[in-house]
């Protein structure tokens, strides 16, 4: 697990492009929102001041839904976004590209625009107060089915919003393979809308290959199990697909035993453009600071850590002029 108090890489500028905004909710915010929204919580979900506790992956999913279920209002989304960006700024993060879920917001009675407007306002206020830039990706959720994902994508395309810069596919990759979603992602590609896809976290190389060939991503969420097929690794390098790796997440969910056995360093050494990210921070006792510290601990040099930041910003879905402005801070 990440050690929260280490500061060995604090001086290195960072970027985060794989984090679920709803899952950044800290235990203190969770308690606050629960009280505000009159939601009863069991104390056994809290592991510490910083993190939640859970037994196995299925328990994690259950508790994830309980914890994020306290987010009820646009006011909650504003506070959630602002507090997360404030924390990131304290870790010397220049840019955040976080995933959001209109499915969650609508289930709580919010409109598409009301929750996004609050996220955007918090983003602007955090940029003013801390200098951190952020944009957002709308996620389609695999296990809600192909129709749900398509409707979410259509809503994004038909309702441009200044907070949104791309579309992602998340959720259960084991039971909802890429071929179910080709119609939606062909539509997104036709509109030249930026795409990232979760693949190669729980399933292996064939799922990653299908995601690349069928869904047209320029980035892959996780993608680390590509290491099991070196021909696939070569294809990822040749197509310049960037991996949004989340080592602490993968260790917490027992995909890998420790940082030393995690393939992020090997993938980097094979020429893959990797980034490092915190995924669902308080569920894994993770921070973006801790991810960079852990990478330094397994042999990434300072120039290599900076290259991960550069990879994240260059592969982000931010406009080119804004990318260029942020990248000047790495020189």
Q: What is the pLDDT of residue 2?
A: 45
The single-letter DSSP state of residue 20 is B
* 2 domain residue, yes or no: no
Q: What is the pLDDT of residue 202?
A: 93
* 81 domain residue, yes or no: yes
Q: What is the pLDDT of residue 7?
A: 57
Mean pLDDT of 196-222: 97
Mean pLDDT, the chain, rounded, equals 96
* Count of domains observed in the chain: 1
* 320 domain residue, yes or no: yes
Beta carbons of 179 and 152 less than 8 angstroms apart: no
Q: What is the pLDDT of residue 331?
A: 79
> How do residues 156-197 score in pLDDT, each as one tens digit?
999 999 999 999 999 999 999 999 999 999 999 999 999 999
Q: What is the pLDDT of residue 170?
A: 96
Instruction: Tell me the sheet residues that pair with 218.
Output: none
Domain extent, residue 108, equals: 14-330
φ, ψ of residue 186 to 5 degrees: the values are -65, -40
Q: How confident is the model at residue 5 (pLDDT cuts 50, 70, 90)?
A: very low
Q: What is the pLDDT of residue 310?
A: 98
Catalytic residues: 201
Tokens of 139: 């996620």
Q: What is the pLDDT of residue 6?
A: 52
The whole-model pTM stands at 0.96
Q: How confident is the model at residue 273 (pLDDT cuts 50, 70, 90)?
A: very high
> For the sheet containing 274-276, what is the strand order?
14-16, 93-100, 133-141, 164-170, 195-199, 219-222, 242-245, 274-276
Query: CATH number of the domain that 175 lies in?
Result: 3.20.20.140
- Judge whether residue 1 has pLDDT over 50: no
* 6 domain residue, yes or no: no
> How do residues 103-153 score in pLDDT, each as one tens digit?
999 999 999 999 999 999 999 999 999 999 999 999 999 999 999 999 999
Q: Is 79 helix (H, G, I), strand (E, B) or coil?
A: helix
Tokens of 191: 């509109």
């Amino acid at each position: 697990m990440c050690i929260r108090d280490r500061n060995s890489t604090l001086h290195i500028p960072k970027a985060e492009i794989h984090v679920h905004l709803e899952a950044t909710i800290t235990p203190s915010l969770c308690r606050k929102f629960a009280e505000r929204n009159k939601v009863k919580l069991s104390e056994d979900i809290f592991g510490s001041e910083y993190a939640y506790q859970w037994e196995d992956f299925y328990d994690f999913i259950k508790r994830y839904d309980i914890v994020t279920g306290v987010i009820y209002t646009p006011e909650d989304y504003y506070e959630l976004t602002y507090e997360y960006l404030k924390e990131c700024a304290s870790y010397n993060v220049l840019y955040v590209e976080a995933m959001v879920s209109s499915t969650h917001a609508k289930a709580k009675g919010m409109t598409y625009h009301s929750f996004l407007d609050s996220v955007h306002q918090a983003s602007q206020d955090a940029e003013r107060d801390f200098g951190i830039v952020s944009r957002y990706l709308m996620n389609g959720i695999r296990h809600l089915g192909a129709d749900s994902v398509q409707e979410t994508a259509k809503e994004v395309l038909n309702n441009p919003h200044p907070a949104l810069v791309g579309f992602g596919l998340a959720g259960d990759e084991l039971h909802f393979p890429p071929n179910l979603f080709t119609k939606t992602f062909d539509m997104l590609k036709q509109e030249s809308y930026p795409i990232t896809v979760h693949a190669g976290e729980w399933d292996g190389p064939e799922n990653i290959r299908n995601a690349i060939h069928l869904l047209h991503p320029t980035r892959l969420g996780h993608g680390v199990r590509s290491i099991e097929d070196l021909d696939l690794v070569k294809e990822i390098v040749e197509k310049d697909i960037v991996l949004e790796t989340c080592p602490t997440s993968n260790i917490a969910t027992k995909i890998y035993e420790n940082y030393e056995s995690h393939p992020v360093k090997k993938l980097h050494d094979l020429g893959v453009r990797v980034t490092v990210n915190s995924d669902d921070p308080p569920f894994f006792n993770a921070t973006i600071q801790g991810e960079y510290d852990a990478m330094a601990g397994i042999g990434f040099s300072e120039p290599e850590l900076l290259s991960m930041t550069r990879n994240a910003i260059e592969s982000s879905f931010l406009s080119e002029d804004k990318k260029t402005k942020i990248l000047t801070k790495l020189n």
